[in-house]
Structure formats: structure tokens, C-alpha cells
Amino acid sequence: MLQIGDLIIYQVHGICRVMDICDQTYAGVTRKYYVLHPIENNHKLTVHIPVEKGKALLMKLIDKEEAKDVLQSFHSDGIEWIQRPQQRGHVYTGIVNTGNRIDIAKIANTLIQKKFELEKDGKKLNELDKKMLINIEKIFFQEIAVALDTSVEDITDEVNRILGKKIS
């Protein structure tokens, strides 16, 4: 069970802090809830997740060593580029949803490299790929930044530096 003060990832809102664990009654049913605040929202938004659903919806943040390993993984290849956009979106989304950080890094690696390649030809990622990459950069890169006590911009710059060398 999570503890008050834990930082977690909730895919819908990104990184959140557990502010409270309390009993609440909705529609006549009393259950224990995690009370979450997204860290980017300055506590304006409060999210309530039933504790029994928390295991499926919430993930603990990676630690510093895992974050270093994830950053190092960008030196390796990503995953195979799937030509058909719908199939690619389905497969890549399934991988991201597993929560395996190294696999998520491989997806980010592949999308960023493809973005660099397309930009060389004056083209852009299609909208689905662009949205997936933005979401990964927003949540996943923020998680790495928190674990390494740095900024998302620094993580983005480092990843782009690593991958830019591979494209050159």
C-alpha cells in the first residue's frame, strides 16, 4: 500500500503526490481512497482513487539508479519501426501501458529518431506518433527528472544529444 507523501505516476495526470489516505462515502458505499495532487498542478486539482484500484492505476516512481539505467538505454537501439500507423500506435501503446521503463525508453528512442529523420527531409511525425511522444516526454521524462533531481529540459536535452549523435 502507498504511503502519504509517496510520489506515483497516474497515467491520466502524470506524477502525483499521495496527500492523504482516507475513508470516503460515495453513493452510500464507504471505501478507502488515495487522495492525489498532480505535482504540476500546484494542488489545484485533487484526484481520488479507490485503494483497491490503485494497484492497477498507479505506479511508484523509479529510483535514481533505475533512472540512470533508463538514460543509458538511449545509447542502444529503440524498437522496430512498424510501417502501418494504426498497427504501430496499437503496439507502441501496449508497450507503454506495461509500465516497463526500459521498454518505454525504447519507444521514445524510436519515435525521437524517426522525428529527427523526418525533419531532415522537411517532414513531421504523424499526429498519433506526435501525441504519443509528447505524452512520453511529459510524464516519463518528468519521472526521470524527479529521480535524478534535475529538470525535464535537462533530460530532454540529454536524450536528444544521445540520439542526435546516432543520427549524424
pLDDT tens digits, 142-162: 999 999 999 999 999 999 999
Taking a C-beta distance cutoff of 8 angstroms, is the pair 33, 48 a contact? yes
Taking a C-beta distance cutoff of 8 angstroms, is the pair 23, 33 a contact? yes
Say what the pLDDT of residue 168 is.
54
Give the chain's mean pLDDT: 92
Task: For residue 77, tell me if it sits in a domain.
Answer: yes
Taking a C-beta distance cutoff of 8 angstroms, is the pair 55, 29 a contact? no
What gap in Å lies between CA 35 and CA 63, rounded to an integer?
22
Task: Clarify whether residues 49 and 125 are in a common domain.
Answer: no
Task: Clarify whether residues 13 and 85 are in a common domain.
Answer: no
Phi-psi region of 153 (alpha: psi -120 to 50; beta: other; left: phi over 0): alpha
Say what the pLDDT of residue 118 is.
94
Task: Clarify whether residues 90 and 137 are in a common domain.
Answer: yes
Could you tell me the end-to-end alpha-carbon distance of the chain, in angstroms, rounded to an integer?
A: 46
Task: Clarify whether residues 53 and 128 are in a common domain.
Answer: no
Query: Tens of pLDDT along 90-110?
Result: 999 999 989 999 999 999 999
What gap in Å lies between CA 68 and CA 149, rounded to an integer?
12
pTM value is 0.87
| Phi, then psi, of 48 in degrees rounded to 5 | -115, 120
Domain that holds residue 128: 64-167
Task: Clarify whether residues 50 and 86 are in a common domain.
Answer: no
Task: Clarify whether residues 96 and 34 are in a common domain.
Answer: no
Taking a C-beta distance cutoff of 8 angstroms, is the pair 139, 59 a contact? no
Say what the pLDDT of residue 124 is.
96
Task: Clarify whether residues 109 and 35 are in a common domain.
Answer: no
Domain boundary among 45, 60, 75: 60
What CATH number should be reported for the domain holding residue 146? Answer: 1.20.58.1290
Consecutive H or E run containing 48: strand 47-50
Task: Clarify whether residues 93 and 139 are in a common domain.
Answer: yes
The total domain count for the chain is 2
Say what the pLDDT of residue 40 is.
82
Task: Clarify whether residues 76 and 21 are in a common domain.
Answer: no
Consecutive H or E run containing 117: helix 101-120
What CATH number should be reported for the domain holding residue 32? Answer: 2.40.10.170
Among 128, 9, 26, 125, smallest CA distance to 67 is for 9
pLDDT averaged over 10-residue windows placed end to end, the chain, 168 residues = 92 90 94 93 84 90 96 94 95 93 96 94 95 92 96 94 76
Taking a C-beta distance cutoff of 8 angstroms, is the pair 33, 54 a contact? no
Task: For residue 96, tell me if it sits in a domain.
Answer: yes
Task: For residue 1, tell me if it sits in a domain.
Answer: no
Domain boundary among 60, 81, 99: 60
